[in-house]
Amino acid sequence: MVDQPLWEQIGSSFVQHYYQLFDSDRTQLGSIYTDTSCLTWEGQQFQGKNDIVEKLTSLPFSKIAHSITAQDHQPTPDCCILSMVVGQLKADNDPIMGFHQSFILKNVNDSWVCTNDMFRLAIHNFG
């Protein structure tokens, strides 16, 4: 088994942690953002941990489940990590929808936080 590069290990762990929190208790997501983090959610901009968590906790569903199809991780020149996730999600009794989401992770005081987050639902058919 080939060892994964460090950025892939960190990226995968983050992704797993993020969706686990998101799907179980979105109020806990504050721990992964900072006061200067940026979120673009379906084209709408939010800045800072508080505004971001407020947006995420106010999303209008009771239940949500994400299923990750693919994830790509890269190191960036400033020692950050860029992660891109593709998958599907199901909110309440809505039909399953595709989504893609990008994150930039930065090491702050020995823990990896998310400084940039972009989320979009997939809106085009495949094929």
Partner 1 sequence: MAGEKEIWQRIGEGFIQEYYNQFDNTNRMQLGLLYSDEACLTWEGEGFRGRDAISNKLVSLPFKSITHILTGQDIQPTIDSCILIMVFGQLKADDDLPMAFHQVFMLKAAQNGSWACTNDVFRLGIHNIPV
Residue 116 touches partner 1, criterion: CB under 8 A: yes
Residue 35 touches partner 1, criterion: CB under 8 A: no
* 93 and 67 Cβ atoms separated by less than 8 Å: no
* 121 and 88 Cβ atoms separated by less than 8 Å: no
Residues found in the chain: 127
Residue 106 touches partner 1, criterion: CB under 8 A: yes
Judged by beta carbon, residue 12 or residue 102, the one nearer partner 1 is 102
In terms of C-beta density within 10 A (0-12 exposed, 13-18 middle, 19 or more buried), how is residue 126 classed? Answer: exposed
The two structure tokens encoding residue 32: 């992964």
Q: Which of 23, 26, 40, 51 binds partner 1 (CB under 8 A)?
A: 40
Which residues bind to partner 1, rule: CB under 8 A?
Answer: 36, 38, 40, 43, 45, 69-70, 72, 74-78, 80, 82, 84, 86-88, 95-98, 100, 102, 104, 106, 115-116, 118, 120, 122-127
